A and B are shown apart, each in its own frame.
Chain A
Amino acid sequence: MIPELGHFSLILALVMAALLGGVPLYGSFHGQSRLVALAKPAALAMWAYTFTAYACLTYAFVTDDFSVRYVVETSSAQLPLFYKVTGVWGAHEGSLLLWVMALASWSVAVSVFGGGVPTQVLARVLSVMGLIGAGFLLFILLTSNPFERVPMQPEGRDLNPLLQDFGLAVHPPMLYMGYVGFSVAFAFAIAAMLGGRLDAAWVRWARPWTNVAWVFLTMGIAGGSWWAYYELGWGGWWFWDPVENASLMPWLLGTALLHSLAVSEKRGLFKAWTVLLAIGAFSFSLLGTFLVRSGVLTSVHAFASDPGRGVFILLFLATVVGSSLLLFGIRAPRLATTGSFSLLSRETGLFANNLILLVMAFAVLLGTLFPLLSDALALGKISVGPPYFNTVMTPLMAALAVAMGAGLALRWRQDQARRLARVLGLPLAVALLTAVLAPWAFGAGLPGLAVLGLAMAGWIAFGSIAWAVRLRKAPWRWSGANWGALLGHLGLAVTLTGVTLVSVYSQAADVRLEPGQSHTLAGYAFTLQGVEQTQGDNYQAYRGTMQVTRGQDRIAVLHPEKRVYNVESMPTTEAGIDPGLFRDLFVALGEPLGEQGGWSVRIQYKPFVRWLWLGGLLMALGGAAGALDKRYRRLRQTGDVVPPSAALAQGA
């Protein structure tokens, strides 16, 4: 009964989405304010029905309703309650439902917090989101109905053991909120084009939303990296896996969009470009969804595949991208560029930023899709591995860093080389000095990659700090935008430091240890004390005890585990980690070897690995600070749009 209620709700959600997509839009073109006024209630109704469906599915999980196919495939009676609740989005059908939940939630948020936006524009924005929602709801109902019934089964097949982790509660919702959040900027851009008014107003409205979406996406990606690090068991933090790339591409475009919105808002420049980026960022989100959900890729995330689903999403993607580009082609000629700027100006810096981020996104796209293309054209089965991405991204990152270090200190319109040299000379010197001196602390010579990476990170960090100091204001008087810029840039510097040091100075060894034996790595002695059998809720485990000492100091006792889950009889590796701000010690059990209770063990020393995610957190904080800037709150209260020149005077 409850599953049928959920199914029915889902159908009603589709009806509401279609209503939202059509009626207010029609009304807005024919001056019928009663139809326009339908937008908000329809958005709320779409959310309510989607939520009801979602709640019904959760109920089916919690009550072990094994007459629902999706529950049979992704849950089991033994599964702890927490994972029954998060397991709802543990596979294809449920994760699509989560996608629509995210979209509906963003729609409601826009209708609630979009106070300053004219009713007509808001109605069009919500209509566009309704259309997207209708597409996805149709997709769920036609190809991926989570409420489909099967004859009652005695037991489910259990949630994939790798997903039985806290990470599942955080990573997918964050990621989806980010992905789908770019639909708001997209919807604003489309609404602005429909209305033919591509002035600074839509940019002002779309900017905080883009920030918030970007914050979620940043946290989602950083969280996913952290999860992979400790749960996939082997200490890697980024694999250039196609699905990771699918989330990185919208992030790169979203980052470009954030910066391009800044130029459009403050200077009225790059208007057409910004619209194109808003379309691009959301299109890449859809592409990501397509890549992940169609199963066309070989990936750690590819659990099941069904070509019919791929075709639907591909058609949907083509429709969305095609129609928005068509609209853009019709409207773009109206976008006269006003104002000019010199070669040495913040505009140029932001242009460089956009160009580099775009090239990065396309390089990732090429590397991700090339194997597919090659296979489709029968040119052989190919894989493009991490070496390609590292080779390409390193110089691009270096170029981006050069622009970033100077970026904040640059003035709008026109700057003088001499002034810039005065401001940035010291940061540059300090960055270079750090980059050469810091590797000494690690000993082992002066690796080029370490110097390059640290120089980039230092230049970004010290250049940004030099700018902040020259604001000549106490930190508590800084605007949200000031904080956003500083934290965002510092965050990347921190991440970059982590990437560099963990890549260059990590040490790892696969060794065979018998109880009592030890292995020394990076000055730490790892002694295996024993491995015993234990039992968890729904798994059996071997639990190792590994003592770590350094000289006379006892550093930590780690408990790596090897689990075998009862239902899927699938082994997983739970690493034992001693985390630290400056280094992680990481041990994982391989397999039992020989008669004496020996095990193969992977031991790793990972310097500064936490900085990867710490930087992500700082970036996210920066994005949030930017979204909370006072001028957006003022906008919401009065609906005033500050003309670009005034914004320039007050914000820059």
Chain B
Amino acid sequence: MKPRQRRLLFVALAVAGVALAAVMVTRALQSNLTYYYTPTQVANHEAPQGRLFRVGGLVKKGSLTRKDNVGVEFTVTDLHTDLAIHYQGILPDLFKEEGGAVVRGRLDGSGRFVAEEVMAKHDASYVPPEVAATLKQTTPGATPP
């Protein structure tokens, strides 16, 4: 091979590799996006069935109930609509009633929201931005606690 041909082959291989990687990255991104919905949107059937998504709001006062073993059930609200959350596991340290929480999970066949992960952020005075925005949307003027 002449140096020129060699260089061409080299560049072609590199371009092919990067193109392959780009396709792979895009596909991975498409299939792994998790969208965020408010409880109101979930009630209006805007959220997908059976697919992972996130939902957030304030944890309703008095809604937290314990099930057998480490199961819990609680309600998140955007002060407009409530959504019941089912979760098996230990709640994060900063999870508390009347505090903000973001939950990742999916709607099962019977329309129950089953959480895989419950997030409450790492600072007592911190409200997740999504929750703040949700509250602003549904109740203008409300200040998150």
Contact = CB atoms under 8 A, between A and B. Distances in A.
A600 B24 CA distance: 41
Interface string B114-141: 0000000111101011100100000000
Nearest to A160: B123
Contacts of A359: 18, 21, 25
A573 B93 CA distance: 7
B107 interface: no
A166 to B, nearest CB: 18
A158 B104 CA distance: 31
B124 A569 contact: yes
Given A298-B130, A590-B90, A600 B29 contact: no
Interface string A334-373: 0000001011000010010001000100110011001000
Given A303-B126, A570-B93, A600-B70, A384 B18 contact: no
Interface in A532-579: 562, 568-573
A385 interface: yes
Give the contact-size bracket for chain B: 35 or more
Contact of B28 (A162, A355, A392, A562): A392
B70 A383 contact: no
Interface in B6-52: 6, 9-10, 14, 17-18, 21, 24-25, 28-29, 31-36
B89 interface: yes
Contacts of A511: 69-70
A382 interface: yes
Contact of A591 (B28, B88, B91, B123): B91
Contact of B34 (A160, A303, A362, A383): A383
A395 interface: yes
A380 interface: yes
A381 to B, nearest CB: 4
Main secondary structure of the interface of A (DSSP, over half): mixed
A596 interface: no
B93 A233 contact: yes
A370 B29 CA distance: 9
A261 B89 CA distance: 49
Contacts, number: 103
A348 B31 CA distance: 33
Contacts of B31: 391
Contacts of B34: 382-385
B93 A571 contact: yes
A362 B29 CA distance: 13
A388 B123 contact: no
Interface residues of A, number: 49
Central interface residue in A367, A388, A396, A573, by most chain B CB within 10 Å:
A388
Contacts of B6: 340, 342-343
Contacts of A363: 21, 25
13 contacts: A160-B123, A233-B93, A302-B121, A340-B3, A343-B10, A355-B14, A355-B17, A385-B34, A391-B31, A392-B25, A562-B93, A601-B90, A602-B90
B78 to A, nearest CB: 13
Interface of A: 160, 162, 232-233, 298, 300, 302-303, 340, 342-343, 348, 351, 355, 359, 362-363, 366-367, 370, 380-385, 387-388, 391-392, 395-396, 510-512, 562, 568-573, 588, 590-591, 593, 600-602
Contacts of B66: 593
B54 interface: yes
B142 interface: no
A562 B93 CA distance: 9
Contact of A298 (B18, B90, B94, B129): B129
A380 B36 contact: yes
A164 to B, nearest CB: 13
Main secondary structure of the interface of B (DSSP, over half): mixed
Given A348-B10, A388-B33, 5 more contacts: A362-B25, A367-B29, A380-B36, A381-B133, A571-B93
Given A233-B93, A342-B6, A355-B18, A382 B24 contact: no
B94 A396 contact: no
A381 B130 CA distance: 8
B138 to A, nearest CB: 15
A256 B117 CA distance: 36
A510 B93 contact: no
* Leading 4 A-B pairs by shortest Cβ distance: A590-B90, A381-B36, A388-B32, A391-B28
B66 to A, nearest CB: 6
B68 to A, nearest CB: 8
Given A380-B36, A382-B34, A510-B89, A388 B128 contact: no
A382 B35 CA distance: 4
Central interface residue in A233, A381, A511, by most chain B CB within 10 Å:
A381
A92 to B, nearest CB: 13
A382 B14 CA distance: 32
Contacts of B124: 568-570
A593 B21 CA distance: 49
A651 B119 CA distance: 52
B90 A600 contact: yes
Contacts of A572: 93
A511 B90 CA distance: 9
B29 A343 contact: no
Contact of B123 (A303, A342, A362): A303
Contacts of A162: 122
A511 B129 CA distance: 32
B14 A385 contact: no
B145 to A, nearest CB: 14
Contacts of B18: 355, 359
A383 B29 CA distance: 10
B94 to A, nearest CB: 7
A495 B61 CA distance: 45
Central interface residue in A367, A383, A562, A591, by most chain B CB within 10 Å:
A383
